[in-house]
Amino acid sequence: MERVDISILGREYSLACEPAEKQALLDAVKFVDQRMLAVKSSGKISSNERIAVMASIQIAAEMLSMRAPDGPLGSVAVGDFKRKLDEMHGQLNLVLPEAKPE
């Protein structure tokens, strides 16, 4: 595990993550920080706790809206769908010969 120091709304935190996950973690921290700053700049909410709750609700609503609305993939999140496609692509690469340029 690697220690990662981050800042959200000017407050410092130390987190631990696998080295391979560090960039994804930093991207998530940046996204959350930006969302919290946007909530704070609206001027309607002042406490950091309430800002965090409102930003979390907004992020959750976005995530849930990214699910396919109906049909066979209605309960599948976009990330799960992409992961499954990547797995299938990897399996195809194993069983199909490489295309050779002529």
Task: Indicate whether 27 belongs to any domain.
Answer: yes
pTM score, two decimals? 0.65
Question: Which residues, 6 or more positions from 75, have their beta carbon under 8 angstroms from its beta carbon?
Answer: 67
Selection from 47, 40, 41, 17 nearest residue 29 by Cα: 17
Domain hosting residue 71, numbered range: 2-95
Residue 85 lies in a domain: yes
Look at residue 102 and tell me if it is in a domain: no
Residue 101 lies in a domain: no
Which uninterrupted H or E stretch holds 17? Answer: strand 11-17
Query: Does 100 map to a domain?
Result: no
Number of domains in the chain: 1
* Residue 64 pLDDT: 76
pLDDT by residue (tens digit) across 53-98? 999 999 988 887 776 566 666 666 767 777 878 888 788 777 776 6
Instruction: Say if 12 falls within a structural domain.
Output: yes
